[in-house]
Amino acid sequence: MAKNAGTNQNTALTWRRYKDGDFSPASLQEQIFKAGWSHKCPTYVHRTPPCQASCPSGHDIRGWLDIARGVDKPTGGMTWQEYAFRKMTSSNPFPAVMGRVCPAPCEDGCNRNEVEDHVGINSIEHHVGQYAIEHGLKFEAPPAETGKKVAVIGGGPGGLSAAYHLRRKGHAVTIFEDHALLGGMMRYGIPGYRTPREVLDAEIQRILDMGVEARCGVRVGRDIPLAEIESSFDAIFWAIGTHTGRGLPIAGWDAPNCVTGVAFLRAFNEGRLQVVTERIVVVGGGDTSIDVASVARRLGHITQIHEKDRPENVVWGQTAHDVSSVAQRHGANVTLTSLFPVEKMFAAEREVSDAKSEGVDIKGGIMPLEVIKDASGRAVALKLCKCEMDGMTPVPVAGTEFEIACDLIVSAIGQRGDMQGLEAMDNGKGFINADKNFRVPGKKGHFVGGDIVRPHLLTTAIGHGRVAAESIDVYLAGDEIAKRPKVDVNHFNLLAKLREVNLSPEPYAGGAVRGTDDEGFAVHNYEDRSRHEIVPSTDLFLGHFLYSARHKRQEVHIDADAVIGNFDERLMPLPESEAIAEAKRCMSCGLCFECDNCVIFCPQGAVQRVPKKERTLGRYVFTEYSRCIGCHICHDVCPTGYIQMGLGE
């Protein structure tokens, strides 16, 4: 396909449903054609879009994009941004933070990639999240108190998410956090120029304002016994994160100037680390390693540094810089190494590109072999070699060894939990085991989520908190916790939408019926498969969608000469007009977006609009089966894959 100059977007739209020579049905058994008609008629089938299925927090992404584009309109004078905010935060209470830092797996899954480029989902979330802060939007108080109390151990994204969802259900929640402030990795692991602290504080405060209690500076297992928590609360949710970094498994790592990425970023985010050394090697390849390298470039080094002010001493909490604020800063030479080639690194592509432009030297396809020390035992170089990957295992290439001189080595290759005082919860590997409902096996009333189960994205921890809160709610009610659905996200619910707009079906009177098209108790010819099926691009009529360039957020790019001391935010929110225009690029996969194709192209006039007074999102058209001949045209021209052919009469 042709490429638009300066972008990666396809401009030549070559998609075709039928190719040359396709003039008859591929399978008569499937189509059931009888001359000019068939026994198949359209059914309106709701399925999960791949963006939502790719979102670890379970966002109803299509739902709030439909709001932004004007298909689903708010009532009562509410702005579309507030309506979208309410929809977003039914899954994830951090739209302003996640709109900035989430690597957006939803965009990777977006079916629009098969046309030209994905929808800028993250940027629209950013716009709505920022609007909510600027307009002081709050969360609603729970409808009623249940009298149940839940302890949430850890105030990071997973713990805060669980606290939010539990409080919405009316449970009393107390968060125990061993750091001085809430936020977890959002505060102590991600630099402030990516998650501005005023934004993070605002989104945390919304949760606290619902009546959630927070006890910071309190460590369970040290300041308060676990037995006391178990006796005082009806359920416990563990979300202690993984705040202990992994060192490099090579000889010489015990040198004093070898530190972990987790400790490095914590020292920076707590305001203690203000300068680094002249030559730094960061070993990693993921987002944490990029953050370490980018922070190091911004901090720079000073030529005259007191022994007690060496960065490693600050990182380990032994002292704090006292002269760096007045000393002349110089650029740090930062090298980032990865086992994988640069193009296959796990870090977000945008972050890798920015790090390069800011002066970070990124070397891929190499593995560390040994820390080289001087006579005093300090690291002076890192010995490496080229490698090839066998799955996740690096295989060294003989004869390719080399050294990189350095004053500081930072390992950002992974992390685990700090289980001191919590040995009863440790699975032996620095983590806590969980089943698919996020229960701790063998520990009644204990639930767990976030990085302490499996280190992953912030949005993954947020999703764990949502699902665990549902499990805890069922547990507190004394009910059996059911098996989770195959597609475990926050689904669009047509019945809930009908209730919202006062169109609830009539009560079922009982008795046998044949057909429901004239019955008021049923939603006619509609099927919800969203808990089991994801709609693929091959089920969409992609020919409906014209080329439309993505509306991109303004990004502040900093070159290597200007990076020192620059901690300004880099991502600017989309203006309202562009946020709406970008939302209109959404193809509404798996749900009607009221394009009228089926109504216009039906040769029998069998597909008709639902009467306006009975119409709402997801109930826009119906089929009059007495007219339908099963020609499949409505199915062929449906852009969203909402119309599927099923047996009818």
Q: What is the DSSP string of 16-46?
A: -SS-TT--S-S-HHHH-EETTEESEEEEEEE
Count of Cβ atoms closer than 10 Å to residue 108 Cβ: 12
Q: Quick check: 353 and 294 in contact, CB under 8 A?
A: no
Sites in the chain below the pLDDT cut of 50: 1-6, 323-326, 649
Q: Quick check: 62 and 430 in contact, CB under 8 A?
A: no
Q: Are residues 315 and 389 in the same domain?
A: yes
Q: Are residues 397 and 252 in the same domain?
A: yes
3-36 CB burial, b ≥16 within 10 A, e <16: eeeeeebbeeeeeeeeeeeeeeeeeeeebebeee
How high is the pLDDT of residue 6?
45
Among candidate residues 444, 461, 476, the one where a domain is terminated: 476
Is 10 a member of any domain? no
Q: Are residues 289 and 376 in the same domain?
A: yes
Q: Give the single-character DSSP code of 344.
A: G
List the strands of the sheet with 526-528, edge to edge. Answer: 526-528, 40-46, 643-647
Q: Quick check: 563 and 598 in contact, CB under 8 A?
A: no
Q: Quick check: 179 and 206 in contact, CB under 8 A?
A: no
In angstroms, the Cα distances linking 276 to 285, 460, 479 are: 20, 32, 55
The domain spanning residue 425 has which CATH number? 3.50.50.60
Q: Are residues 236 and 256 in the same domain?
A: no
Is 618 a member of any domain? no
Q: Are residues 257 and 237 in the same domain?
A: no
Rounded Cα distance between 49 and 534, Å, is: 6
Residue with tokens 């309190």: 218
Helix (H, G, I), strand (E, B) or coil at 305: coil
Is 216 a member of any domain? yes
| Structural domain harbouring 178 | 149-243+417-476
pTM summary value? 0.90
Q: Are residues 336 and 435 in the same domain?
A: no
Q: Are residues 408 and 319 in the same domain?
A: yes
Is 593 a member of any domain? no
- Phi, psi for 374 (deg, rounded to 5): -95, -170
The closest of 373, 341, 407, 347 to 250, measured between CA atoms, is: 373
Rounded Cα distance between 622 and 643, Å, is: 10
Q: Are residues 281 and 388 in the same domain?
A: yes
Bridge partners (DSSP) of residue 363 are 337
Is 316 a member of any domain? yes
Among candidate residues 435, 456, 476, the one where a domain is terminated: 476
Q: Are residues 271 and 297 in the same domain?
A: yes
Is 342 a member of any domain? yes
Is 222 a member of any domain? yes
How high is the pLDDT of residue 629?
87
Is 556 a member of any domain? no
Number of domains in the chain: 2
Among candidate residues 476, 504, 524, the one where a domain is terminated: 476
**Tokens matching residue 527:** 């099927």
Count of Cβ atoms closer than 10 Å to residue 318 Cβ: 10
Q: Are residues 342 and 214 in the same domain?
A: no
Rounded Cα distance between 570 and 560, Å, is: 15
Q: Are residues 250 and 372 in the same domain?
A: yes
Q: Are residues 398 and 271 in the same domain?
A: yes
Which DSSP helix (H) or strand (E) runs through 493? Answer: none
Rounded Cα distance between 156 and 345, Å, is: 26
In angstroms, the Cα distances linking 158 to 314, 454, 460, 468 are: 28, 12, 8, 10
The H-assigned helical ranges of 1-120 are 28-31, 50-53, 61-68, 80-88, 95-101, 105-109
Rounded Cα distance between 544 and 597, Å, is: 9
Q: Quick check: 640 and 590 in contact, CB under 8 A?
A: yes
